Amino acid sequence: MRLQNTLTGEVEDLVPVVPGTVGIYVCGVTPYDSAHVGHAMSLIVYDVLVRYLRWRGMQVTFVSNYTDVDDKLIDRGAQMGIDPLELANRNIAQWEAEQERLGLLKPDVRPRVSTEIDNIIAMTAEIVANGFGYVTPSGDVYFRVRAKDDYGKLSHRNIEDLRTGTRFEPGDEKEFPLDFALWKSAKPGEPAWESPWGKGRPGWHIECSAMSRRYLGTRFDIHGGGLDLIFPHHENEIAQAEAAANDEHVFARLWMHNGMVQRDGEKMSKSIGNVVSVEEALSRWSPDAIRLYVLSSHYRSQTNLTDEAMAAAGAGVERLARAATREVPDDARSGRAEPPEGARDSDFIEALDDDLDTSHALAVLFRLATEINRAIDAKRNADDVRAMQATLGELAGVLGLSLEQGGDDGERADAAEIEALLVERTEARAARDFKRADEIRAELDARGIVIEDTPQGARWSVKR
């Protein structure tokens, strides 16, 4: 598999540190509020990466953290009059329930700052001992950016470029404006822990360096996150990890960054009021539609979430689901059938091996769906068609698509029952019992099922 590496700017072969295994670390949320679709979309990308590598036989360890100690949480907790850690717990519980509804795999480890304090203190102490960190009179610990010659290598800028626009704030005890906090001394009302530098709490960046080392080792395969995290967060993660090890060849080998989601052409922000929460998204669109929407563009591109795009994604899901579950007549035997050029396993693998090109992988599925419908209509060999349906289901599963018609709200349409009602309706119409035929249509309509009469007979789909 080849992936675009932000660190080198090149598309590179994924060559695991330990053959046959892949360690992946993805920065998680700071749970000061409910998760929004941007968070969901970012996780969907890495979810597909993990599913795909596992399907290819790799043993994947997937780690994603929660930043449950942070300025934003402390501020929001103070506004709401609740303990910031309690607020984090609440939002994490909600987000994890939503992740399950979205069909996201559980990371193998989900570390939190509040339970990794010893680990974080240990790494901070190593950085200070190696001369890359210093303690101020107030008990803050800073990273000494100028001690690291290659600082800026991920964002491809040098220290002089990066310091432009930064300056000392009043009361700063930093040696240099770009220096960043590894440890912050305790302030009244904030969560704080004992440390060699007095009571305090970690800065934002150190947690990811410390957690990834603990769960994936000093050298691991893939680090992911949104493009907005490249600087300063990921830049600082690299600096810390290398400073602690006193070695410039540790930490993540490949850096993957996913693009941001816009809403109707604008950045999602609280001030515009166009932030779509995961809760809202799940109330409007099925998990499969949300996922298909994300996967229909390249993970590095910026995507624009619109109602039209989501309707198209929903229709796409229906198309795939219908082909995967369409009844194949048992007596069908008018010739063999097989996946055509561009719709085979090998095409699917080629697409995802090429920097996780999910939109091409989806095109393979749509080609296969078209062929399945064509083969059913032409009454091709039933075993062949069912084999194609099984392949479609399997490959869709690698992308995390369930292809269950009717969404995920517990009111899932029972396909067999609907098919039976459609047969009854066809029979009623043939017997000129239009009253019964209309009743059946009305009943299905009430259940959110749309009937479409085609020359091949009635087809149904779930209303969007």
Nearer to Zn ion, 237 or 347 (CB): 237
Contacts of the segment 325-331: beta carbons below 8 A, 24+ positions apart: 325/389, 325/403, 325/405, 325/415, 326/372, 326/373, 326/376, 326/389, 327/419, 328/376, 328/382, 328/385, 328/386, 328/389, 329/376, 329/379, 329/382, 330/382, 331/379, 331/382
Binding flag, residue 27, Zn ion (CB under 5 A): yes
Binding flag, residue 208, Zn ion (CB under 5 A): yes
- C-alpha distances (whole Å) from 268 to each of 12, 276, 277, 355 are 32, 8, 10, 27
Contact segment (CB under 5 A) with Zn ion among 74-82, 203-211, 350-358, 368-376 equals 203-211
Site for Zn ion in 310-329 (CB under 5 A): none
- The answer to whether the beta carbons of residues 408 and 439 sit under 8 Å apart is no
CB of 410 to Zn ion, least distance (A): 35
CB of 67 to Zn ion, least distance (A): 8
- Over the window 228 to 247, marking each residue x when it contacts Zn ion by CB under 5 A and - when it does not, the resulting string is --------------------
Contact segment (CB under 5 A) with Zn ion among 19-27, 47-55, 178-186, 392-400 equals 19-27
CB of 246 to Zn ion, least distance (A): 22
Contact segment (CB under 5 A) with Zn ion among 16-24, 26-34, 108-116, 300-308 equals 26-34
Strand 141-143 versus strand 180-185 pairing type: antiparallel
Cα–Cα distance for residue pair 223/203, rounded to 1 Å? 20
Nearer to Zn ion, 256 or 281 (CB): 256
Nearer to Zn ion, 27 or 421 (CB): 27
Nearer to Zn ion, 257 or 322 (CB): 257
CB of 331 to Zn ion, least distance (A): 58
CB of 241 to Zn ion, least distance (A): 11
Count of residues near Zn ion by CB under 5 A: 2
Question: Of 59, 54, 53, 65, nearest to 26 (Cα)?
Answer: 65
Nearer to Zn ion, 224 or 259 (CB): 224
Residue 46, C-beta contacts closer than 8 angstroms, at least 6 positions apart: 24, 26, 62, 64, 224, 256, 258
Nearer to Zn ion, 113 or 268 (CB): 113
Contact segment (CB under 5 A) with Zn ion among 35-43, 205-213, 314-322, 397-405 equals 205-213
Residue with tokens 């002089």: 160
CB of 169 to Zn ion, least distance (A): 24
Contact segment (CB under 5 A) with Zn ion among 113-121, 202-210, 396-404, 452-460 equals 202-210
356 Ramachandran zone, left/alpha/beta (phi>0; psi -120 to 50): left
Residue 442 burial class via C-beta count within 10 angstroms: exposed 0-12, middle 13-18, buried 19 and up:
exposed
Nearer to Zn ion, 251 or 299 (CB): 251
The residues that bridge with 223 in the sheet, in sequence order, are 25, 255
Nearer to Zn ion, 28 or 407 (CB): 28
CB of 27 to Zn ion, least distance (A): 3
List interacting residues with Zn ion (CB under 5 A): 27, 208
